[in-house]
Structure 1
Amino acid sequence: MTAGDDAPDSGRLAALIRVALGEAGFERAAVWSAVGFAVSYVAFDVASIAASTAASLGATAVPQGLVAPVAGAVAVLTAVGVAAFAAVGGGVLPAILLAYGPFAAALLRTTGPEPYAIPLSDPVPFVVAVAEPLGAAVAGAVAVGVAGYAVGRVVAGIGGSEEEPDSVFADDSADADD
């Protein structure tokens, strides 16, 4: 075994780390996850208030059950955001983190406990009430994060420059002749 035998393995490991972590970092994903949680959580209240206001002003055929459309809009916007994040260099793990915030808010509002009604004086009922929606949010975030990463990298490859190779395992031997 020679010293040159380890180079392909270290190159693959570096490529795997680059795919997992990306170049954009966790900081941006964490901030957008938190912002996505807050905006998504409040979006359900805003949609309800808007529907009630429109109905009180005499609008007809105003849907009062806006939970499904709002949750669908949150899911679509999250998927687009994750793909865009991956297209500019985000990795799989930050993409999953980015998707978790909005999904957690949407699942808490759709399948979780009644909003603003759980007393925090006894933490056990609170933890039990939110554990299932947050667990489902992790599963959804993993699915959308991985798929969004794949779509984002394809989009980045289509619009990318011809100077960079499309494959993370590309051979650099052609550059060695220069």
Structure 2
Amino acid sequence: MTARLTVLAGPTAVGKGTVAAFIRAHHPQVWLSVSATTRPARPQEVEGVHYHFVSDERFTEMVEQGDLLEWAVVHGRAKYGTPRRPVEEAVAAGRLPLLEIDLQGARQVRETMPTARFVFLAPPSFDDLVSRLTGRGTETAEEQATRLATAQGEMAAQSEFDHIIVNDDVERAAAELVSLMQSA
């Protein structure tokens, strides 16, 4: 049985990583892709679980060798990408594969895997998104401003997605996403 890939995207700080972590912990039937990134690990992030942390040089090699399903420079700084082979293997094995990526990446996946299901994770409001970003304390004020400017454009892209899930409660949003993934 071949599974259908689900792509979860949304604006910065909407809680994509938090929803994905909840799914990882509570829904073992879902296979979560682990992205590669050139940014440094944040506190509590684990290599191979949250991301594959790689050098710029290694990331460039991965791009040149066609090893990434999608990739992008995010917020004008770090590079992020999805290793291709593990995703293709999960789909072929009939698992419930989930990519948690940014808008640029989702657009690239739509080009290469148009049969995927695309889900936009939205905040209850833009003010809530601002509070989440500033409240997590992981970026400088300059980085926050850049991310919020990016988020405004990302919010405008909701119509490009097959489904929209509002992240007003992590457990509820995760359950809705998993239910969607289990449907035809």
TM-score normalised per structure 1: 0.27
- Larger Rg over CA atoms: 1
Between the two structures, name the one with larger relative contact order (CA 8 Å, sep ≥ 6). 2
Higher helix share: 1
Higher strand share: 2
